[in-house]
Chains A and B, each alone.
Chain A
């Protein structure tokens, strides 16, 4: 019961934050709200028994992503306030149609927390029952991440590494070359 209450409250907070992010134009406020959004979703992950995920989301979403966005804001800040133009009609229509389609789709989804749902019937019992005797690791998430799906994780780490290389290629170099050319001219 208390779980459900916390769940509902946190989801309501998330909704409010998302609406605020849409409506506010001050970028600094948006980034701070995004940090709050991540922290709330981390809390929600704890309620939904995903301790490992909550850990990561709290450190990544509320920590690193917010800091990186603030760093970008500091580099791209515009000094004069601008009147922001944005289209609303067409995007709103597209979003409404997609929402209706998705909500219609939820009627086929098994109800939240249903132990008989198809997602709980396959693969999972195998991991839960045999992971401890096969790998000797009590935390099933670690066992699946590192052992059963080792290839997958190798791919993920490579993606992270590649993204890091991409960032370095894009903005890692100094601004020297263009400045020198301007000096020559």
Chain B
């Protein structure tokens, strides 16, 4: 029983974080909060990849004498670049939020819809 939990604990928490990010995106009306939700979703995907690359009793994948077990370097490479790409796309989203604020003078989704309808 405890083995099953320990074997899957990481994945379950990753799913929980993923879903809390998802929930924030679809249930909240505030655009900045939505972006924070997207970022949580994104970080949970990073955690999923790194969890898959982990090996018991391994070391970081830097080749050195005396070590034979290394973590899988491939997920690290993918996630390393994904993090930096993620922050630039987040910045793009934030820029859109700023433009929306200037055009509609609000960042609440419902109010933006109301203003669109009243046009």
Contacts and interface: CB of A to CB of B under 8 A. Distances in A.
Indicate whether A and B are direct neighbours in the complex (CB within 8 Å): yes
A64 B89 CA distance: 13
Contacts of A65: 39, 87, 90
B1 interface: no
A73 B98 CA distance: 9
A131 B63 contact: yes
A35 B50 CA distance: 20
Identify which of B20, B53, B54, B77 gathers the most chain A CB atoms within 10 Å of its CB.
Answer: B77
B33 A50 contact: no
Nearest to A118: B52
Interface string B76-116: 11011111111111111011111101100011101000000
A158 B93 CA distance: 18
A171 interface: yes
Contacts of B86: 60
Interface size class, chain A: 35 or more
Given A91-B26, A112-B6, A138-B63, A18 B40 contact: yes
Contact of B94 (A51, A72, A143): A72
B27 A60 contact: no
Nearest to A137: B63
Interface residues of B, number: 83
Main secondary structure of the interface of B (DSSP, over half): helix
Main secondary structure of the interface of A (DSSP, over half): helix
B13 A98 contact: no
A141 B77 contact: yes
Interface string A110-152: 0111110101100110011001100000111101110001001
Contacts of A99: 15-16, 19
A49 B58 contact: yes
A85 B61 contact: no
A52 to B, nearest CB: 5
B119 interface: no
A113 B106 CA distance: 47
Nearest to A155: B81
A50 B23 contact: no
23 contacts: A7-B10, A21-B36, A22-B23, A27-B30, A38-B43, A41-B43, A49-B71, A51-B62, A53-B83, A60-B83, A69-B32, A82-B108, A99-B16, A107-B8, A112-B6, A115-B56, A119-B52, A128-B70, A138-B62, A141-B61, A144-B74, A156-B82, A159-B88
Given A8-B9, A53-B80, A98-B22, 19 more contacts: A7-B10, A14-B17, A31-B32, A37-B40, A41-B46, A49-B55, A50-B50, A50-B53, A50-B75, A52-B80, A73-B32, A76-B101, A86-B29, A103-B12, A112-B11, A112-B51, A114-B7, A127-B73, A139-B63
